């Protein structure tokens, strides 16, 4: 009789199991929901799913706010969004992110592209990074009017492109901004701003209030080794530790503005402040701001969008985009 250990060689509870036959069971995913091409009844936001690349498979959900007689001729800021989930959970098409982005788009009035990147363990990092860079290139390629997506061509303002994400998605934002500092996007498009909420960064040594004991068994440590087991330097690789050995200077970040958001009860809170301080002291020529909500936990603003503090996050995002 096969033992349970042999059947499930990798288990990160309560999140995921990987069986010996290679099958994956995601225990914490929220259901996949369809887009709302004829406007969401609650918010008036229209959404649709598009294919960015067949091979590798990269897709996205686009969100367009309700256009009125007052604003239908105005170009909208563009937000390219990367969802969280530790690089192995969640989806741009999940009910959690569909509801969150419907709400965000309706209140901030921004054209949004939520990227469906490939997940570990079926596709280990750096697959997600490569997919998100390809998505950014795809968006930028529309600025000359040559792309195939009418919402971007007709309604998007390519002078106001933002990238944003939460948790692992915020880690992607950082890595895209670093890459944009050394590689050009199509048509000379520049990233105006970057929004990082409850960022997933880590290192081999604890900082701030992080527990000193059992650091190597902390979830962020285990997650990184799970999604990128072969990477040089492990959890001190610059992609997850921006001050790790060989890390590029943050002075080279390829955007003009940055908003870093932290939550007081979040395990990742000190990492967000740490990152903010590193950017501020790096010699980067842009403007970086820190926004903290003291009494909340990790991604509270996505899980509970109706709360007063979640609404405060949306308003802060709006003022960041339109300042």
Q: Are 87 and 120 in contact (CB under 8 A)?
A: yes
DSSP-assigned letter for residue 244: S
In whole angstroms, give the CA distance from residue 100 to residue 94.
Answer: 10
DSSP string, 255-270: EEEEEEEEETT-TTHH
Among 40, 131, 166, 266, the active-site one is 266
In whole angstroms, give the CA distance from residue 218 to residue 210.
Answer: 10
Among 167, 199, 203, 236, the active-site one is 167
Q: What are phi and psi of 151, to 5 degrees?
A: -60, -40
Give yes or no: 266 in active site: yes
Q: Which of 108, 23, 111, 107 is nearest to 60 (CA)?
A: 111
Structure tokens at 298: 């990790």
Give yes or no: 236 in active site: no
Question: Could you give the C-alpha distances from 155 to 75, 284, 291, 297, in angstroms and in order?
Answer: 5, 31, 29, 35
- Per 3-state DSSP, what percentage of the chain is helix, strand, and coil (rounded to 5)? 35, 25, 45
In whole angstroms, give the CA distance from residue 290 to residue 206.
Answer: 21
Catalytic residues: 167, 266
């Amino acid at each position: 009789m096969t033992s349970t250990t042999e059947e499930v060689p990798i288990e990160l509870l309560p999140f995921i199991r990987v069986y010996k036959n290679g099958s994956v069971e995601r225990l914490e995913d929220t259901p996949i929901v369809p887009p709302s091409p004829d406007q969401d009844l609650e918010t008036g936001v229209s959404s649709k799913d598009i294919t960015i690349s067949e091979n590798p498979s990269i897709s996205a959900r686009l969100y367009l706010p309700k256009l009125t007689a007052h604003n239908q001729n105005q170009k909208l800021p563009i937000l390219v969004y990367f969802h969280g989930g530790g690089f192995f959970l969640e989806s741009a098409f999940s009910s959690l992110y569909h509801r969150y982005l419907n709400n965000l788009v309706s209140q901030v009035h921004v054209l949004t592209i939520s990227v469906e990147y490939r997940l570990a363990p079926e596709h280990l990092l750096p697959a997600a990074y490569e997919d998100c860079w390809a998505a950014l290139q795809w968006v930028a390629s529309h600025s000359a009017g040559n792309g195939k997506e009418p919402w971007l061509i007709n309604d998007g303002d390519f002078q106001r492109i933002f990238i944003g994400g939460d948790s692992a998605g915020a880690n992607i934002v950082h890595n895209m901004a670093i890459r944009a500092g050394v590689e050009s996007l199509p048509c000379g498009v520049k990233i105006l701003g970057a929004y990082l909420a409850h960022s997933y960064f880590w290192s081999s040594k604890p900082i701030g209030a992080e527990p000193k004991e059992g650091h190597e068994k902390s979830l962020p440590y285990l997650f990184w080794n799970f999604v990128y087991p072969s990477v040089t330097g492990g959890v001190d690789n610059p992609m997850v530790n921006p001050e790790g050995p060989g890390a590029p200077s943050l002075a080279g970040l390829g955007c003009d503005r940055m908003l870093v958001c932290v939550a007081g009860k979040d395990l990742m809170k000190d990492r967000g402040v740490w990152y903010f301080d590193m950017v501020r002291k790096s010699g980067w020529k842009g403007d970086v701001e820190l926004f903290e909500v003291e009494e909340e936990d990790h991604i509270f603003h996505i899980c509970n969008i109706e709360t007063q503090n979640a609404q405060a996050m949306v308003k802060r995002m709006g003022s960041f985009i339109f300042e």
